[in-house]
Amino acid sequence: MILGALEAGGTKMVCAIGNEQGEVQERISIPTVSPQETMPEMIGFFQKRHIDALGIGCFGPINPVKGTKTYGYITTTPKLAWQNFDIVSTFEKALECPVGFDTDVNASMLGEITFGAARGLDSCIYVTIGTGVGVGVYVNGGLLHGMMHPEAGHILLQRHPADSYGGKCPFHGNCLEGMASGPAIEERWGANGVQLAGCREVWELEAFYIAQACVNYTFVYAPRRIILGGGVMHQEQLFPMIRRQYRELLAGYVHTPELEDLESYIVPCSLEDNQGIMGCLQLAVEALHS
């Protein structure tokens, strides 16, 4: 079985070939320009490999809800050239194979559930904190969709009493993305995360917002594990800070076996940043079997 995987990002499109074991044999990166420029390159790559199915984890917002009029579309993305683009049907017609489709962060969640740190669990969430913040939600044995996909990177947070920063998100100043994304760190402190690695006050404040979000996710989704990934979480000193502040903010309200060991509850991603592509391969498997 030859599977295609597309991790469709706002800056680059990562196209890969692999198998149902999540093994990646080949990958290339194509700049994300416009559909007219980028799609022919991607289609050509997959056509030459004669794939049996394709899985797409896509930047959003998108419509992943099957049976609706705009299923398979990239919808109100700020990348104007891609607004209301029917990416799924375009690939289906060109490749003549099944196409699985979800958000990029849901693909990462699926990669961790199938091959990584969430394997064997019936519920988990994956949070990526980088240029933006996205959350993939897996509950009751499946990825969560409602009228759309979760936008839990934009949950509203209480400001830290000592934080006067207005927030980076143009829609909600005090959402998680607005307060804790990579660009928010750089704008607030005047340097990027790598340059600020040794500044404890930077990461204590970051941990406050991430821990607050994690408490909210625990209350709303009741996941058996929370996985934190993305470029910001490469600052590994964040994890003990987040766990400590999480426990303080939880304030003893919830008692479950999972929460007795926060080192096993709030964890880093486990697949060497390949969880997105591996999740796309699994989306291809599911599309083929459905």
Residue 10: pLDDT band (50, 70, 90) is: confident
Supply the pLDDT for residue 78.
Answer: 83
- Average pLDDT on 79-91 reads 96
**Whole-number percent of the chain with pLDDT over 70:** 100
- Does position 149 have pLDDT exceeding 90, yes or no? no
Q: Are strands 12-18 and 24-31 parallel, antiparallel or unpaired?
A: antiparallel
Supply the pLDDT for residue 148.
Answer: 84
- Average pLDDT on 148-165 reads 94
> Could you tell me the pTM of the whole model?
0.95
Supply the pLDDT for residue 172.
Answer: 87
- Average pLDDT on 214-226 reads 98
Residue 274: pLDDT band (50, 70, 90) is: very high
Residue 48: pLDDT band (50, 70, 90) is: very high
* Dist. CA 258–CA 197, nearest whole Å: 30
Residue 252: pLDDT band (50, 70, 90) is: very high
- Average pLDDT on 280-288 reads 98
- Does position 156 have pLDDT exceeding 90, yes or no? yes
- Average pLDDT on 21-44 reads 97
Supply the pLDDT for residue 290.
Answer: 86
- Average pLDDT on 273-279 reads 97
Residue 88: pLDDT band (50, 70, 90) is: very high
- Does position 267 have pLDDT exceeding 90, yes or no? yes
Residue 146: pLDDT band (50, 70, 90) is: confident
Supply the pLDDT for residue 23.
Answer: 97
Structural domains of the chain ordered from first start:
3-103+273-289 (3.30.420.40), 117-268 (3.30.420.40)
Supply the pLDDT for residue 232.
Answer: 97
